[in-house]
Amino acid sequence: MTDTFQLDGVAVPFEPGQTVMQAALAADHYIPHLCYHPEFKPHGSCKLCTVKVNGRTMASCTMPAEAGLEVESEIEELNALRRTLVQMLFAEGNHFCPSCEKSGNCMLQALGYDLEVHAAGFRHQYPDRPLDASHPDILLDFNRCILCELCVRASSEVDGKNVFALAGRGNNKHLIVNAESGQLKDTDIALSDKAMQVCPVGVILPKRVGFSQPIGERRYDASPISAQALEDAPRPPSGVEHD
C-alpha cells in the first residue's frame, strides 16, 4: 500500500523520495511551476509552485512528500502570490511578447494567461542586456532570461559541457557562457544539445527558423499550460500502476 497526502482535499499517492510536485503531477494534479522540469533535480528558485503545507507556505517542487500532509494549492491566496511572482519576472526582464519568437511556446507567457495576470503590476526595470549573436547557428537573447538555471543544469548534467553558468548576485544575477571572450561562438555548444531544448522562455534560440511555426498554432495557443503540463509529468516506472 502506498502512502498518501492530501492535495486540496484529494488523496495523492507518492513513492518514497518524491516531492509534493512530482507526486502531484504523476497523479494528474497540476501545480503551477516554472523552474521545475521533470527530467531534472528540483531547483526551487522561481517559487511559482508555492503551496501551503499544514498552514505554512513552501515550494512544492522541493518539499519532500510525507504521509498525512495537508497541502493546499488551488486557492485564491496562493494564486494571488503566483500572479505577483509572474509580474515580478515580467518586470525584471525585457519581455515584448508580440515580437518574441517564443510567443505561444513560452511558459512564462502561458502562466501569465493561465493565472489571469491582466496588468503589469510593477514598474518595469528595463535592464540593459545585450544580445549574443556571435554563434553561427544560435542566438542568445538575455532580455528574456528568468534565471531558472535549466540550461545550466542541462548543459552540465546531460550534455557534459558546462556551456552556461550564472554570475553576479541579487538583482545583478545574470547568465554567462563558458568562454574567456564571453561569447557563445567560443563555446562547444551544438544545436543538438539538451541545453537547446529546455529554456522555458525565449533566450536560447536556433537561428533561421524564426516564426516557421505561425503564432496561433503554437503549443499554448491550443490549450492552457495547466492542461498540458501533465503530459510531461514523470510516470511511475513502467509496470508499476497506482490507483
Partner 1 sequence: MLPDANPIYGESPRCDLHADLHEIVARHCGEKTNLLQLLIEVQACAGYIPDDAASYIAAMLAIPRSRIESVASFYSFLHLKPAGEYRVLFSDNITDRMLGNQDLMEQMCRQLWVQPGKVSEDGLLSINTTSCTGMCDQGPAMLVNGHAITRLGSQRIQEIGQLIRNRTPVAEWPADYFKVENNIRRGGLILDNKLAYGQVLQATRAVAPATIIDTIKGSNLRGRGGAGFPTGMKWEACRNAEGEARYVVCNADEGEPGTFKDRVLLTTQADLVFEGMTLCARAVGAKKGFLYLRGEYRYLLGHLHAVLQRRRDSELLGESILGEQGFDFDIEIHLGAGAYICGEESALIESLEGKRGVPRNRPPFPVTHGYLQQPTAVDNVETFCQAVLALHMGAAAYRAIGTEKSSGSKLISVSGDCASPGIYEYPFGVSVRQILSDCGAVNTRAVQISGPSGICIGEHEFERKLGFEDLPTAGAFMVFDDSRDMFEVARNFVHFFAHESCGFCTPCRVGTSMLKQTMDKVAAGHGTQHDLTEIENLDHVLQTTSHCGLGRTACNPVLHTLKHFRPAYETRLKSLDFEPAFDLDGALARARQMTGRDDAGAHLKENE
Q: Which residues would be at the binding site for ligand SF4 (CB under 6 A)?
A: 145-151, 175, 198-199, 201, 203-204
Per partner kind, with CB cut-offs from 5 to 8 A, the member of ligand SF4, ligand FES, partner 1, none near residue 33 is ligand FES
Pick what 100 binds: ligand FES, partner 1, ligand SF4, none; C-beta below 5 to 8 Å, kind-dependent.
Answer: ligand FES
34 is an interface residue for ligand FES by CB under 6 A: yes
- Among 29, 33, 83, 135, contact with ligand FES (rule: CB under 6 A): 33
> Which residues, including other chains, have CB under 8 Å from residue 81's CB and lie 6 or more apart?
50, 57
Pairing of strands 174-177, 138-140: unpaired
* Residue span 47-86 as binding mask against ligand FES, x where in contact by CB under 6 A, dash where not: xxx---------x-x-------------------------
- Is the backbone of residue 170 left (phi > 0), alpha (psi -120 to 50) or beta? left
Q: Are strands 10-14 and 174-177 parallel, antiparallel or unpaired?
A: unpaired
Residue 204: contacted member of partner 1, ligand FES, ligand SF4, none (CB under 5 to 8 Å, by partner type): ligand SF4
> Residue from 117, 140, 154, 201 that binds ligand FES (CB under 6 A)?
201
Phi, psi dihedrals of residue 205, rounded to the nearest 5°: -125, 135
Which residue, 207, 161, 149, 158, is CA-closest to 186?
161
Among ligand SF4, partner 1, ligand FES, none, what binds residue 94 when CB lies within 5 to 8 Å by partner kind?
none
Residue 33 or 153 with smaller CB distance to ligand FES? 33
Partner from ligand FES, partner 1, ligand SF4, none contacting 95, C-beta within 5 to 8 A by type: ligand FES
Phi, psi angles (nearest 5°) of residue 11: -75, 130
Assess contact for 132 and 139: CB atoms under 8 A. Answer: yes
Q: Using CB distances below 5 to 8 A depending on partner kind, what does residue 178 bind out of partner 1, ligand FES, ligand SF4, none? A: partner 1
Provide, rounded to whole angstroms, the least separation between the CB of residue 61 and ligand FES: 3
Q: In this structure, what are the phi and psi dihedrals at residue 57, rounded to the nearest 5 degrees?
A: -80, 135
Smallest distance from ligand FES to CB 54, Å: 18
CB of 94 within 8 A of CB of 126?
yes
Residues facing residue 3 across a β-bridge:
14
Q: Cell numbers of 202, please?
A: 525565449
